[in-house]
Structure 1
């Protein structure tokens, strides 16, 4: 992270890194995600507060479905940037792929990630990796810059979106991206995305990362890969137990 990127992130709560992956790498990851989607069949992650006939395909923990994503999680281009934001130790919380289908790809209402997996020290960040172009008409990510400084905001509805009156998506700042770009943002940043009204799918991978010393306030959103150290070490590692002993406890 350059000093300019660091300053921008601290002030705004996000930073877009152009060309983190080459167009050829992005195209390969895109094909792999669509192959996963084809094999698993129909899914829909549309939020309860979204009205209309839209859909969005998703799958969690995709490193268990294709080894390319296992390697991607520890790609130094990704982990170096995460370390610059979080610190020397970076732990995986979870990951999930999204495909917004053409013409009716579901939006995400404006929200903070905090309500879904609140943490004591607010070290959690997200990295969205773009595997095809994401212009505004594809429903790119939109943010309210600087809102990460406000702390946790009141959440509404079963999907925990923020007030639509205070934070309408129409007034949010769009962040269009190219295939291979990576967007990093703080989990307190108010963000969302619009409908994909284009004639092409929008394909992304979302990776949630934290400092392993940061304690969850509630045990939520568990995943099979949670706890994997992607960079550095886990300073709180305990005496060895077999996995089935931990589960029994």
Structure 2
């Protein structure tokens, strides 16, 4: 799924942008599905503005929805698409487990930024197998607030975080010093959860629509369960060697 050059690039830089993983037609259909979910208000109790505390009050907003596969069969099928899971296996290994997923829609002209951060503080894992995948359902040039990264920063290990939203130092890692990664509809960006990343304001006249999927090796041990989500633990590729003996769900709930 990834060439040796791409694998080496990921190992060295902490990210890889896979161009054209999905066709323009597939991306358009998924974009329509995301916007239909938002239009229905079918986001449960997670429909609040996802703007971070450190940039709240600046007149920007961003729509989001967690656990999108519980709202759309199209997304359920997407999670196990071999084009997606094949690349994840190249990075993580043969066994790929879902941690969580969420959609983001940055509205035109005022789509909220995400300060530079590592994902580690939110869901730390013992072996650091966690990766993120951003699927782009429309074009994401710089003026739309595309993702920006500090290449190779995953090699620094967990860094001190600041504020309630756990961003890294804005003085040491300003977004202006990061590498912008503009993408096209259908592109998929994979990156390590220790890679410093963030995004700017959507200043364009069009929304920016993405789906974020967090994946891990099922044998990796979470250091806390603060970011538990529905469907967490679903196997998207391979098996779970760490699976416990089978019990019925209602037995677990009554235990």
Task: Tell me, yes or no, whether TM beats 0.5.
Answer: yes
Structure 2 gaps of 5+ residues are none
- 2:48 equivalent among 33, 43, 47: 43
Post-superposition shift, 1:178? 0.1
Alignment deviations for residues 59-99 of structure 1 (CA, whole Å, 9 cap, x no partner): 01111111000000000000000000000000000000000
Cα RMSD (Å) of the superposition? 0.9
Post-superposition shift, 1:40? 1.0
- 2:245 equivalent among 235, 239, 246: 239
Q: List aligned pairs for 1:125-204, cutoff 5 A.
A: 125-204=131-210
Post-superposition shift, 1:246? 2.1
Secondary structure of the structure 2 residue equivalent to 1:204? strand
- 1:228 equivalent among 230, 234, 237: 234
Number of equivalences: 249
CA distance in 2, matches of 1:239, 1:43: 38
| Pairing 1:22–2:23 present | yes
Equivalent position of 1:31 in the other structure: 32
Structure 1 gaps of 5+ residues are none
Post-superposition shift, 1:244? 2.4
Equivalent position of 2:108 in the other structure: 102
Equivalent position of 2:120 in the other structure: 114
Alignment deviations for residues 28-49 of structure 1 (CA, whole Å, 9 cap, x no partner): 0000000000111763100000
Equivalent position of 1:81 in the other structure: 87
Post-superposition shift, 1:248? 3.5
